[in-house]
Every structure is written in structure tokens, then in C-alpha cells.
Amino acid sequence: MREWTTNTVMHSYPGMVALVTAKWNGEQNIMAAGWHSYISYDPPIYGVAIAKERYTHYLIENSREFAINFVPEKFAHYIQQSGMLTGKKHNKFEELKMEYDQGRTVSAPILKEAYIAYECKVMDQRTYGDHDWFVGEMTGFYKDGALFAENGLPNWDELSIPLYLGRSQYMLANKDSKVLNLYRDNS
């Protein structure tokens, strides 16, 4: 039975978690973000919500750049562990043994294990409640083409995507998942 309430109800998951990276003045960090979205296709624009007190917020606010990284099931522990350490006290890349390259159009690190990554330059930053919404013009893209089929969908023989559920649990989108096909040929 559906009930109405003024108490906050959160239901963001299951959803892909973005690993957000940034670098400024020789310092860099990575954090897990559950609140993120495409905003525009042409030009390509991406948004992510980051709380002001986060170390990554400080790095992005100063560098005006960030990157979005998505990792497969095998590296879901990057998501989990990134969220449990603060970059103010920990070098997460070293401690979690995450390898990376520097971005091509931004200074932010791009994870070697990311199957998709975006390079973004901040075009807007707005404070809404307890987070800032960073809006990034997407200036570079990384994709592991072997993990996608010709029709653009994941190649499920090769890719298993961890979707965060809450409570340190990840639902796997992979070859064992059930799929509902609602395509109707109207021709």
C-alpha cells in the first residue's frame, strides 16, 4: 500500500556508481558518487553532486576539471573502498593500488580499469542544499570497445556491471540477468 509522507524517501539505487577523479596543484583524489547524470547529448554535458566538505570538491573547485570513471564487477572494491577513506588523510591510489593515466584534456586521473571514462571541464557549479552540482562539458571519452556489442548494448559475455544497492551491496548486471524486451515492430 503506497503511502504519502513528508519524510524524505531515498531511492537512487540500483544504479551505476561514478568514480570521480580530480587533480589540482600536485594533489589528486578519487571518490565514489551515486548522484550523477548525463544532462545534454549535443554538446555532451555531464553533472555530478559532490558535498562541499569532500576533498574532491576542493580539488574540482580549484582545478575546474574532473573525470568520471566506471569500473566493472572485478573492480567494484574500488567503489566500496574509495567511499570508506578520505583523501585528506589517505593517498587512495597508492593504498588501493589503483593504476591510472593522466587525462588527455584534463589533469584528472583516468583509471586503467575503467571500461568507460569521461573527461570534463567545469562549465557551472551551483549549490543546492547540502551538495554542489558540478556541470561539466565532456571534452574526452574512453571506451573499451570489446565490452560492447555492435548495437551499443554491453557485450554481456565480457562485461559485468556492478550496480550499487546500498548497505555495501552491489547487484550485478551481466549475462545471468533477466531481460524484458518491450520492442514492438510497428512497421
- Of 7 and 25, which has the nearer Cβ to its own copies? 7
Residue 187 interacting with its own copies (CB under 8 A)? no
Q: What angle do CA 181, 183, 187 make, to 5 degrees?
A: 160
- The C-alpha cell 570513471 sits at 69
Eight-class DSSP state of 154: B
**CB environment 149-160: b (16+ within 10 A), e (fewer):** eeeeebebeebb
In the list 21, 49, 89, 108, the residue contacting its own copies (rule: CB under 8 A) is 49
122-181 residues near its own copies, rule: CB under 8 A: 123-124, 126, 128-131, 133, 135, 138-146, 151-154, 161-163, 165-174, 176-181
Do the beta carbons of residue 69 and residue 18 sit within 8 Å? yes
79-118 residues near its own copies, rule: CB under 8 A: 80, 104, 112, 114-118
Stretch that binds its own copies, among 20-28, 31-39, 53-61, 85-93 (CB under 8 A): 31-39
